[in-house]
Structure formats: structure tokens, C-alpha cells
Amino acid sequence: MTVPRPSPPTPMPIRRALLAGALVSAVGGCGFFSEPAHRPLTVHSPAVAVPRAAGCPPSGVRVDAGRVDAAMGLRAMTLTLTNCSGRPYRLNGHPSVRVLDEKGAALTGVRTVQGTDQVPMAPEDPGAHPLTLGPGESARAALYWRMAAENGTYLKVVPQPGRAAVNVRPPETLDIGPENTLGTTAWTSPS
């Protein structure tokens, strides 16, 4: 019976290099480390009135939120405003958005700004210009933020100053938290 010979010990500099490479790969985001998945919303609070998907609310518009896109800590969500009334609806500017928790209270410390300059890695805001939506037409705005520790369950959206607020329940929570900035782009026509 032949006893296998142990392999010679790996020299210390090579061991250190292998260990350093493994650590960098594990925590450096090289495909081995993934961001936490968003949890779909399963809660509905009686404290937050959300318009039904069918019909047209008294405001004359429906606001819907898309799914969250995530990459390297940057989050993005599209808001779609649809004119469900029988008359033209005019827009010019950015939506005003507040992030609410599951009970309808505003998340403290989350600051909403017009534009995307204050959200690292967010694309450029196209800028405001007047839009008139005919019945059935839509406009879009985007929200950008950096990943944080708290979950926003609802959004309170004011399409522009002087208009009624609309509560929106996105399909996923917003993982935003204290001392975080939510950047908004101006309303634009879908391409």
C-alpha cells in the first residue's frame, strides 16, 4: 500500500494573495455578493386610502408606481400619471412625493428634491416643460434613491403645486431611510 505524500506547503506570499483575492471578490461586488431582494407588499393599512385601480378618482388622474429597479445601491421607480377624466389635464414640473410607512406616517429624515443631482449615480433629470394630457393620455416621472435600512410602503404624490395629493401603493417597498434623498425627475410624455 502506497501512502500519498503530502503536497509541499504553499509559500506564505501566495497564501496571502489567494486570501486577499477571495476577500475582495466576496465583498467587492464582483458578482458574488448580491443586494438584498425587495419584499413585495403584503400589508394594506386602513389608515392610507389608496384609490382603486378601476374607475377615476375625483382628482381626475390615476397615479401608478412601477417595480423597483436596483443596481449597485441605486434604486429607481417610475410613476405613471394617467388622465382618466374627460377634459385636458395640464402638467409642468416635478411631482412632490412623500414616503410613508405601513401606518401612513411619513418616514422621518427622507428628503425629497426636484431633480437628480443630489442622488449619486442617478441619471440626469430631463427638466420641466409644459404638458397637456388629453383623456386617457399619460405622463411619467422617475424616482431615484440610494439603498438604506427602512421600508417605505406608500407614496403620497402631488402631481404639481395646487393639485390634490394621490396615495399610491407601489408593488414593492422602497428601501429608503433616514438622512436619505429621494430625487424626482420632471413629468415627461412616454416615448
Q: What is the CA radius of gyration of the chain?
A: 23
Average pLDDT value over all residues in the chain = 79
Q: Identify which has the larger pLDDT, 147 or 19.
A: 147
Q: For the segment 142-160, what is each residue's pLDDT rounded down to a tens digit?
A: 999 999 888 899 999 999 9
Q: How far apart are the first and last CA of the chain?
A: 76
List pLDDT tens digits, range 65-85.
999 999 889 999 999 999 999
Q: Which residue has the higher pLDDT, 26 or 7?
A: 7
Whole-prediction pTM: 0.73
- Among positive and negative, which fits the CA dihedral 134, 67, 49, 52? positive
The label of the residue with cell 402638467 reads 91
